[in-house]
Amino acid sequence: MILLQLFFAFFKIGIFSIGGGYVMLPLIEKEIITAHGWLTLAEFVDIVAIAEMTPGPIAINSATYIGYRTAGFFGSAVATAGVVTPSLLLVLLAATILKQIYRHEWVQAAFGGLRPAVVALIARAAIFIGQTSIQDLAAAAIAASALLLLLKTRLHPIMVLVLAALGGIIIYK
């Protein structure tokens, strides 16, 4: 039963997530924490951090880890399949249809409305993670420093993560 619940929970997340992995974060939060109670908020934030640091899309990494945490190996396989199935089906359908209608003004207008909504969903995810992760002045300083490094330098994001981890070791140890 838990495997079906995992599949359909992540299928729902996958089907309603236009815009990529970060857009999925509020949906994952609602489905995994609020609706099913499979994780705590702190565990979810840790999973997002791990999923961000590991290779691959954050949504798939999150689904795999949450599935494993919830129901072991088969849970990870089922959750991962659930989150990627809608995209696979939609891409196959879209490739067939969109090729013919992409230049239509209504389609262009729809995409014009979707783009700002995707930005809003990503902003919501950033605020949610920030509220949970930035609990003191030191964490705020690490977050601000990381943001400045990303905006003002050509430093690779992995290096920024390594520096933030070193900062955490120095400050919190």
pLDDT digits (tens, 9 = 90+) for 9-47: 999 988 887 666 677 788 888 889 999 999 998 898 888
- Please say whether the beta carbons of 59 and 14 come within 8 A: yes
- Please say whether the beta carbons of 69 and 38 come within 8 A: yes
- Please say whether the beta carbons of 5 and 105 come within 8 A: no
Report residue 42 CA to chain centroid gap: 15
Domain segments of the chain as ranges = 2-101
In three-state secondary structure terms, 40 is: coil
| Average pLDDT value for the chain | 90
Give pTM, 2 decimals: 0.59
